[in-house]
Amino acid sequence: MFCATWVAEVTGIDPVAEYRGTYRTEEEAAAIISAAGGIVALVDRMAARASMKRTDDPQDGDIGVVVAPAGVAGEMKEIGAIRFGPIWLALGPAGVVGKKAEFVAAWRLMV
């Protein structure tokens, strides 16, 4: 939802409106991601709703899926993030965190 909220703020299109308020736990979110074929497939479908296209050269404000520590345990996972200079911003347990990370996929935010 972190990246989708950013997309909605910038474009006026909420690409995940159908999912807001439909889950409460990490397990329920994981079930939605799994049913979509994984996080990249889910973000790909949601990004298309906001006319976003895949990019191999993410710029400031673009969204992506990165491999980074997630959750309290810091387990490495694919998570959504927003490009900001040389780092990616993601939502962690204590708020927004910025780190260098390798991206798995990225989408250009068209404004």
pLDDT per position as a tens digit, 14-47 = 999 999 999 999 899 999 999 999 999 999 999 9
Amino acid at the residue 52: M
Q: Give per-residue pLDDT as tens, 51-81.
A: 999 999 999 999 999 998 777 777 889 999 9
Give the structural domain span for 34: 2-108
Residue-level pLDDT at 101 = 94
User: Is 1:23 a contact under the CB 8 Å cutoff?
Assistant: no
Q: Residue 15: its pLDDT value, please?
A: 93
Note the pTM of the prediction, 2 decimals: 0.90
The tally of domains found in the chain comes to 1
Query: Do 66 and 58 form a contact (C-beta atoms < 8 A)?
Result: no
Q: How confident is the model over 86-98, as a mean pLDDT?
A: 92
Residues with Cβ within 8 Å of residue 4, at least 6 apart in sequence:
14, 15, 16, 46, 80
